[in-house]
Amino acid sequence: MIKDHGDHKAKAVQVANEFGVTPPTGSGIGAKATYAKLKMLSDASFEKSFAKAMVNDHQEDIKEYRQGANKNDAAGRLAKEALPVLQKAFAGSTISSRSRLHRSNLCVEVGSTNHSSRSG
């Protein structure tokens, strides 16, 4: 999952540059709020809340990528390429089974590797 996010981010930056768009360098306000909430929770509460946040995020990303995949440009091609990976991560237990890994790496803000550029 971490490799998928990193690979996708690099490709998304490249596509943004092709469009002359500067990608965000940090998390949006929603991701920062989620981060603040999660870092205050205990193990059981964290696990449940983290999984819920990641499910919601992936559902929204899948919706946006389905729409973007209809475009006949570099962004559309990237969306078409990424959509199966997003769907696989969502459909499998990848999201919830990785929550402990994310808990240990919580210093990296939740949402900082967003799949989409909702802020732009």
pLDDT at residue 92, rounded to an integer: 64
pLDDT at residue 2, rounded to an integer: 67
pLDDT at residue 100, rounded to an integer: 47
Digits of tens for pLDDT over the chain (120 positions)?
Answer: 667 777 888 899 999 999 999 988 888 898 899 889 999 998 888 888 888 888 888 888 889 999 999 999 999 999 999 898 888 877 764 554 454 445 444 444 444 444 444 333
pLDDT at residue 117, rounded to an integer: 40
Helix, strand or coil, per DSSP, at residue 9:
helix
pLDDT at residue 75, rounded to an integer: 93
Instruction: Give the ranges where the chain is alpha helix by DSSP (H).
Output: 2-18, 29-39, 43-68, 74-91, 94-97, 99-104
